[in-house]
Amino acid sequence: GWPRKPNNPKADVCMSAFAMAGNNERRVVRVLNVAEKPSVARTVSQILSGGNPERRTGPAKYNPIYHFTYSYDQQTLDMSFTSVSGHVMEIDTTEAYRKWSSCNPRELFAAPVEKTVKDDEDNRTQKIVRNIKQEARNAEWLILWLDCDREGENIAMEVVEVCGRRSRLKLLRAHFSSLIANEIHRAMRTLTPPDQRLADAVDVRMEIDLRAGAAFTRWQTLRLQRKFAGMRDLVISYGPCQYPTLGFVVERFLQVENHVPENFWKIVVRYEAEQAVAGGGAAGATPPKPSCEFLWSRNRLFDQYVCALLYQLCLDRPQATVTRVLTKPATKYKPKPLTTIELQKLVSRRYRISATDTLNAAERLYQKGFISYPRTETDRFSDQMDFVPFIRAQTADAEWGAYANTLLQSPNKFQVPRKGDKDDQSHPPIHPLKGRGGEASIQERTELLVYEVVVRHFLACCSQDAKGEQTNVSIEINGEQFHTSGLVIRERNFLDVYPYVTWNARVIPAFQQGMVFVPKSILLQEGSTEAPLLLNEADLITLMDKNGIGTDATIADHITKIIERQYVTKQQNDRFTPTTLGLALWSGYDAMGFQQLTKPQFRAALEHELKLICTGERTREVVLQAFIAQYIEVFDQCVSKANLLDQQLRRHFDSIESHYDSKQENFSRCGACKLMMELRTTDTSHLLYCESCKRSLVLPTTKKVAPYPHNCPLDDYQVVTLTSRRDKDYQICPRCNDSPPTLAQQQASVPISEIEDAAGELEASTGFQCFNCRANCPLAKGGHNDPVIPCPSCSKALVVRTGSHGCFLSCSGYPQCKEIMNLPSQLDSVQTTGQVCARCALLGGDPDRGPFRVHLRWRRRPPSLIPSAESVCLAGCDPDLRRVFEAEGDRNVARFMFPRRGTGRTNAVPRGLAPPEARPRSSGTTLARGGTRTGAPRGATDPVRSFAVPTSASGSHLGCNSNRAAGGPQSFGAARTLGSDFRPPSDQHRTAHTHSATGALVPDCECGKRSVADVNPQGRRYYRCAARQCSLYEWCDTWLPSTTVPVAAPVTQAAPASQFTGGSITSTGWPSASASATLTPGYPARVGGGQTIVAGGGGGFSTGFSAAVPSCGCGEPAKLCTSGKAHSKGRQFYACPTGRPGGCNFFKWADEHTPLTGSGSGLLCCVCNQAGHLAASCPQKDLSTSSFSSGTARGGGYSGRKRKGSTGSTRRGRGAGRGRGKRK
């Protein structure tokens, strides 16, 4: 096509000139067309291409691609036509909630859901998606040829999602109702944008069905499996449409079962004329005499004595007098146009074919072009509909061809079809498109029968109504009234072609008003009431349609589902009977009083709201929240009344404890009655039974069971130890395993209140073990399957796992994604808090995937930098974690979380926050050994995605080792997305207060606690919350108060001479209490007695002096070394005295360091938060760093010892680019 830029006048002129060119060339537009089925794609391609499209095969061999050109609105369309096979995406909960043992069923109502590409066994859907993506790469238009209903609109939006919502891709929707040339070309002329509202309605229905179905299915399945025998392998599912459908069957079954016959009596009068009907009977035979039977106006009486008295009165005076004779025209109306529901009912009644088979056959006929779209609710044709071509197509048929000819040749025989009151604005009623062309065209029996019903129904709709005369006669016998009626059919009309209804003539004798006659007989008949018949499929479809259960396309699926779930059975006479399980479930929910689950009104209300979403009168969020809230309320009530469900099922099923043998009495303690429970076993499982509470607790399948000397803090049940088949021991609480507590109950760590018959708890799945719990219990590990940080390789999250070597993080999308993150082996457990890290949230954190703060539990005494009661973030924003992890001997973990220079990670975003496409690649993004980025200019931002990354003045990320001393030159500033004057992820200006001891300016804490100064592993100082309860994180050298702040009175405190080579320094010169200073980044401010403070500088608050020997990142005086490199041999430099690997990466040439003197120091010690000294000489240093400074104390940490065979702390430089040599 012609390249055109937006808002470019030159391009407009060129386009106009191009359109007016004399060569008559037209713009070619690349168009991707997608149909719902391969057969539809083939048919539409043949129509639009004129019959010869080019066919090729892509990744999906069953969904070929057709290529042709098509002229449209003075444009040439380069058409590619492919298809899907129904839905390509499915909605489900995230990976963490999919296992039945992952959560409490109630949590499924609020669990995050995602709509992803379906995972087929043969990867067919993935191949279809890949096929569409390949074709959509160069497409400019996307025309969606999906079925024109709500479901088709939803599939259309799935195709759009697969193709990617690109601004240059024009989305169009084709609306058609049949696969004929006129209809397809009309659809091309009337393309419209897709309707998101229809797709939203389907998404709402799918999400509600998913949440309600999954929650109720898990709850009732696992509860009943633990309580009743014979249900161990059954999935007792719940469906919002299945249970009302089951309710119709059960209610009719109970009406039949509970029916009690009752006797009744009635009077019947019979009359026969004296003269025979002329011309009646066979030739030569005696003509029959007309007769009739008069019915009693009282119908019937259930009192035999009263009926006998009235009968005797009639016998006393048996003469009958005609009191009324009324003759009037009678009409048998022709049927309304055919809908999906009526088609299913007709075929089921006539041929006993199931609704599912009927729809499948109709779908095949539609794809072959014999009938119009078979899924429609419309029962009225449009006024512009031309019926003649469709009738003419049936004139050659041997069965109804003659009748079709009659409709065409006799104007008085044809009549426009009746108009119903339903119109879905998508498809016309079902009608034939062409003749069947002999038996060879339609060979399958079901298809032939369905096609016959469609044709006969359409011809009947185009016919006149049947007409006749009806005569009503009333007589009186001694005060008792009787009546009869006769029918004479004058014109049969549609009845000649439509055998699915009957209208029989009834010949009666001729009567005149006032006529007196003696009846042939007056009889007293006895009878009894009969039970109604069980529902057949046509009756069930009628009830479902009447009550709004399902749609025309899903009713058959709901019926099939309750049969597959073994809730009902279909007898040979096409009648439905509930099974024992279906009857018990319905009776249980009915006993609890929850008609919402078994009655149709609740589902009908949802279907009504979905229609309002389609019209724009409701939003998807409003409907979704309203109905989920109702389901949660019903769910909670069901759980509280679950004992009523158990009582109903006990009538039909045996309790599970009766199938177990007693093995050991007084085995473990019951938390409810405080008595001892009994251990019962079978060949494959174990069970704890409390005789006092009548409660059974099924244990997981295991090799051995033993009591454990500990009571669960949540329910006071004694914990038991299970030994797996691999001889591995683990602990469980029997009641928590049987009925897992909610997350709120675990975090509260308070006893769960006992409710009568153990029905009050929110029960969930089996398999809840102590290491899954988050309670305050020594056995609780917690946090498993909960997201911790976003996965850097995919769109899922890293979750906590436990292996043979301890805890680690792995992707929840395993095995598709094999991303893994090791954790220190000294960690005993990792517990998630569910609280999103505040700092990472500002960098692009996801509230569903994290990063979340976690609690670390250590096998030994925890490091002092990370108290066990405080939470940390594993995404890389916590400055203390590197020092701790390195001290624990897991340097590879520290490098993973805090990558250093040269690792190939170029954007300074915490681990997992950057999307996979934004992560650096090996080409063009590596760092030279000297620290200079190659392939990108210095200071460039990430072209893929920019994050607000907190960086130090030297360009390093929070928690990462600085490559130079604070305030030194930037070593790889190209990795940063902001300049060196960037502020931490908090307010750009924060109010401050003066330190009570030193008078130093200290930022105010967000949570009201006092803030303290601390130092990161690179030696840069920052302010944080003293209680670690909020996200305060301010660099000491860049933070600014938002207003003019008072400065405290002078404080004098001597610093130890060992800290600086220049001798003792006294901090003086602080102004009076009334003095104030206004700080601006990068500009000096004169404060009080001549002291200058520079805000926003490179090396902290400058007070006019610099030490003669610089301090390294560890806070120690740097060691003077001599380079041994060839190009810098003999040149001296300062480095960390600790050496590698225990020290920092501090480096500074000695000739670049100019020692100055000053009169004061505003620095605070990061250990004790006092002025006058730094951390290296702090008296409390040994107490605060003992947890990580000694390698032997932690079992393997580096303690600064010399290498074997060396006489000093020899250390090699990072590379020639930095000019480092050997230290001497």
Copy the structure tokens of residue 518: 């003696």
Q: 121-130: string of b/e by CB count within 10 Å (b at 16+)?
A: eeebbbbbbb
CB 575 within 8 A of CB 533: yes
* Bond before 851 cis per omega within 30 degrees: yes
CB atoms within 10 A of CB 59: 15
CB 546 within 8 A of CB 345: no
C-alpha pair distances (Å), 278 with each of 287, 290, 291 = 7, 10, 14
Give CA–CA dist 485/473, Å, rounded: 6
600: left (phi over 0), alpha (psi -120 to 50) or beta: alpha
Residue type, 237: S
SS3 for 828-856, per residue?
EEEEEEEEECHHHHCCCCECCCECEEEEE
Copy the structure tokens of residue 425: 């604005």
CB 1033 within 8 A of CB 1007: no
Q: Is 15 exposed, middle or buried (0-12, 13-18, 19+ CB in 10 A)?
A: middle
Pairing status of strand 480-491 against strand 54-56: unpaired
Give CA–CA dist 273/263, Å, rounded: 33
Reported as type and span, the H/E element at residue 1187 is helix 1181-1189
Give CA–CA dist 700/738, Å, rounded: 9
Give CA–CA dist 392/462, Å, rounded: 12
CB 361 within 8 A of CB 370: no
CB 846 within 8 A of CB 780: no
Pairing status of strand 1084-1087 against strand 1091-1094: antiparallel
E-strand ranges in 758-870 read 787-790, 797-803, 806-811, 820-822, 827-836, 852-858
Beta bridge partners of 116: 90
Beta bridge partners of 271: 292
Q: Among candidates 1023, 1018, 1019, which has minimal Cα distance to 1038?
A: 1023
CB atoms within 10 A of CB 1045: 18
> DSSP letters of 573-609?
TSBEEE-HHHHHHHHHHHHHT-HHHHSSHHHHHHHHH
SS3 category, 1107? coil
Beta bridge partners of 488: 469
Q: Is 243 a catalytic residue?
A: no
The upper half-sphere exposure of residue 1205, i.e. CA atoms within 13 Å in the direction of its Cβ, equals: 0
Give CA–CA dist 856/878, Å, rounded: 13
SS3 category, 801? strand
Catalytic residue among 238, 373, 1134, 1198: 373
Residue type, 534: L
Copy the structure tokens of residue 430: 């079902």
Give CA–CA dist 971/968, Å, rounded: 9
Residue type, 601: Q
Q: To which residue do tokens 């010892």 refer?
A: 1201
C-alpha pair distances (Å), 1032 with each of 988, 1023, 1164 = 12, 7, 18
Residue type, 976: R
Active-site amino acid positions? 373
